């Protein structure tokens, strides 16, 4: 009794695969919605793949790194170049 509906569904699927143009003419709205859904799905997958590679390529500096860069920039304008170089080495040694 269960085999009957399964066979009927598989027969309908086989018929649909053998004559796609007729199926689209007979069922235009479901065909259009199916293609729209497939297009959305492919678009999401492609955009996710592209965005993930772009995000990996561009790393956002943390707040402490931004602050460190601002302090170094401010000190580079005030200190002599040799003194600033020594300060950078000292800061690098203690922050690494």
Q: Are residues 47 and 74 in the same domain?
A: no
Mean pLDDT, range 12-30, rounded to an integer: 83
Q: Are residues 75 and 32 in the same domain?
A: no
Q: Has this prediction a pTM greater than 0.85?
A: no
Q: Are residues 52 and 82 in the same domain?
A: no
Query: Residue 82: which pLDDT band, with cuts at 50, 70 and 90?
Result: confident
Q: Are residues 31 and 53 in the same domain?
A: yes
Q: Looking at residue 93, what is its pLDDT?
A: 73
Mean pLDDT, range 29-47, rounded to an integer: 91
Q: Are residues 49 and 9 in the same domain?
A: yes
Q: Are residues 43 and 77 in the same domain?
A: no
Q: Please count the structural domains in the chain.
A: 2
Q: Are residues 36 and 68 in the same domain?
A: no
> Which segments of the chain does DSSP mark as H helices, in order?
3-18, 20-26, 28-57, 63-78, 81-95
Residues 6+ apart with CB under 8 A from 58: none
Contact 68, 95 (CB under 8 A): yes
* 7-11, 25-29, 36-40, 91-95, range with the lowest pLDDT: 91-95
Contact 69, 61 (CB under 8 A): yes
Q: Looking at residue 4, what is its pLDDT?
A: 59
Boundaries of domain holding 77: 63-95
């Amino acid at each position: 009794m269960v085999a009957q509906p399964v066979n009927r569904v598989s027969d309908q699927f086989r018929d649909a695969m053998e004559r796609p143009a007729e199926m689209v003419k007979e069922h235009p709205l479901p065909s259009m919605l199916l293609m729209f859904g497939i297009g959305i799905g492919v678009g999401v997958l492609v955009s996710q793949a592209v965005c993930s590679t772009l995000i990996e390529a561009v790393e956002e500096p943390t707040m402490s790194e931004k602050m460190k860069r601002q302090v170094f920039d401010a000190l580079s304008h005030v200190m002599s170049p040799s003194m600033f170089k020594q300060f950078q080495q000292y800061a690098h040694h203690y922050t690494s």
